Amino acid sequence: MTTFPQGFVWGAATASYQIEGAVREDGRGPSIWDVFSHTPGKVADGHTGDVACDHYHRYREDVAIMEDLGLHAYRFSVSWPRVLPGGTFNAAGLDFYDRLVDELLARRISPIATLYHWDLPAELDWRNPDTAAKFADYTEIVHHRLGDRVATWTTLNEPWVSAFVGYGSGRHAPGVTDPAAAFTAAHHLLRAHALGAQVLRAGGAGEVSVTLNLTPTVGDPEVTTLIDGLANRLFLDPVLRGAYPDDIRAHIAKFTDLGLDDLPFEAIDVLGVNYYTIARLAADPASPGHEEYPGSEGIAWLPPHGVPTEMGWEVVPSGLEELLLRISRDYPGTPLMITENGAAYDDVVKDGRVPDTDRIAFLDGHFRAAHNAIQRGADLRGYLVWSLLDNFEWARGYHKRFGLVRVDYESLERLPKDSAHWYREVIARNGLD
């Protein structure tokens, strides 16, 4: 195994709605995902996050697992509807994160807090410009309580998904299918990030971050330029340069007269990168395009090469290496952290173990790709595996398992997979000094 630089951070990540459960306890209000998952036909087999992994009650057990694995850091998200159900402050909801952070610190695990990982309070909507200001108010409340113990703060997780899967294809909550709504939501999410980052900066946050899911494109420039713009530059440029790229600004104008000049800006300290796969593209006049990429008619998404993951995603470790180098080249001086990378496989329990060799091979390849990027000049500070636990995989329900730790959804028993034991050894060989 290659050796990573001193101080390199190893960890894992989760999200509140995917693991916490306890959706009606201690004053928590409904989120758009509560509404969506309880709507027939929206989530596979009618699964919901009502119980999930019951992390709300079992967080001490889960943090003990993290300690056993030797994790340096744990990225979790705060549930907005726990903290401000119906717009009213709920101290009991925030108390949970107090307990979680204290438990992490007691076991020498650095907490990384994500303020928004898709569980928007049900009464709010990203099409409404006021939601960005409400996010800033929520940010101030959470940081005021936890900022003395949490150094790294992430405003949003994957705003592309929130906008284009939530409001474009409608496969995610709130289930809207409207290109104009998708671009409107994207703009307001970017405003929310900047306003939240300003609040964090004013409050003395140690590190301010945002996490973007980024998808390298492969194919002729005539088809990749637009998709790269919609998937990547639409968010990279405003976050890191303070403005939309000219070609994407013109493309948005084809769908909406939304004003784009009211975009505030606040520099970040580290960019969170979520990477899973690439997009292979080709020109095809007969293709209707992709509903999550408005205006992509005439572009075809090609099938994956080789054996994909259970999500149907091609396994391309070199894509991560090139992505990190591309960001370093196009946005110089940007420190990076991989905030999600992992794979879903059809795990099977055998003799009390989960021999998930496919996942080990996946992670090994991507770790090596990340190391190559560092050797070639990328300022990569850490690597957080997705995910610590098997969990509620959004519209796929409980059918796709990404976890290092298997969760039996009936007994809720935790069982570290072989990949977890392997990861422990990787971390031990690359200690944090």
Question: Before 387, cis peptide (omega within 30)?
Answer: yes
Q: Any known ligand binding at 80?
A: no
Judge whether 161 lies within some domain: yes
Domain limits for position 239? 9-429
Q: Which residue has the tokens 């903290």?
A: 83
Question: In the 3-class helix/strand/coil scheme, how is the chain assigned residue by residue?
Answer: CCCCCCCCEEEEECCHHHHCCCCCCCCCCCEHHHHHHCCCCCCHHHCCCCCCCCHHHHHHHHHHHHHHHCCCEEEEECCHHHHCHHHCCCHHHHHHHHHHHHHHHHCCCEEEEEEECCCCECCCCCCCCHHHHHHHHHHHHHHHHHCCCCCEEEEEECHHHHHHHCCCCCCCCCCCCCHHHHHHHHHHHHHHHHHHHHHHHHCCCCEEEEEEECCCEECCHHHHHHHHHHHHHHHHHHHHHCCCCHHHHHHHCCCCCCCCCCCCCCCCCEEEEECCCCEEEEECCCCCCCCCCCCCCCEEECCCCCCCCCCCCCCCHHHHHHHHHHHHHHCCCCCEEEEECCCCCCCCCECCECCCHHHHHHHHHHHHHHHHHHHCCCCEEEEEEECCECCCCHHHCCCCCCCCEEECCCCCCEEECHHHHHHHHHHHHCCCC
**Residue 372 pLDDT:** 96
Give 410's Cβ-side CA count (13 Å radius): 0
Question: Is it the case that residue 431 has pLDDT exceeding 80?
Answer: no
| Closest to 251 measured CA to CA, from 237, 264, 267 | 237
Q: What is the pTM assigned to this prediction? A: 0.98
Tell me the C-alpha distance between 47 and 60, whole Å.
25
Judge whether 303 lies within some domain: yes
Question: Is it the case that residue 51 has pLDDT exceeding 50?
Answer: yes
Judge whether 3 lies within some domain: no
Tell me the C-alpha distance between 302 and 318, whole Å.
18
Judge whether 4 lies within some domain: no
Judge whether 1 lies within some domain: no
**Residue 13 pLDDT:** 99
pLDDT digits (tens, 9 = 90+) for 67-108: 999 999 999 999 999 999 999 999 999 999 999 999 999 999
pLDDT digits (tens, 9 = 90+) for 222-236: 999 999 999 999 999
Confidence band of 432 (pLDDT split at 50, 70, 90): low
Question: Is it the case that residue 168 has pLDDT exceeding 70?
Answer: yes
CATH number, domain containing residue 310: 3.20.20.80
Q: What is the mean pLDDT of residues 157-167?
A: 99
**Residue 433 pLDDT:** 45
Question: Is it the case that residue 63 has pLDDT exceeding 50?
Answer: yes
pLDDT digits (tens, 9 = 90+) for 6-49: 999 999 999 999 999 999 999 999 999 999 999 999 999 999 99
Q: Any known ligand binding at 386?
A: yes
Judge whether 91 lies within some domain: yes
Q: What is the mean pLDDT of residues 349-369?
A: 98
Confidence band of 1 (pLDDT split at 50, 70, 90): low
Q: Any known ligand binding at 276?
A: yes
Burial of 379 (C-beta count, 10 Å sphere; 0-12/13-18/19+) = middle
Tell me the C-alpha distance between 36 and 167, whole Å.
13
Active-site positions? 158, 340
Q: What is the mean pLDDT of residues 230-248?
A: 98
Judge whether 2 lies within some domain: no
Q: Any known ligand binding at 198?
A: no
Judge whether 186 lies within some domain: yes
Tell me the C-alpha distance between 100 and 145, whole Å.
13
Q: Any known ligand binding at 117?
A: yes
Q: How many domains does the chain have?
A: 1
**Residue 3 pLDDT:** 87
- The average confidence (pLDDT) of the chain is 97
Question: Is it the case that residue 367 has pLDDT exceeding 90?
Answer: yes
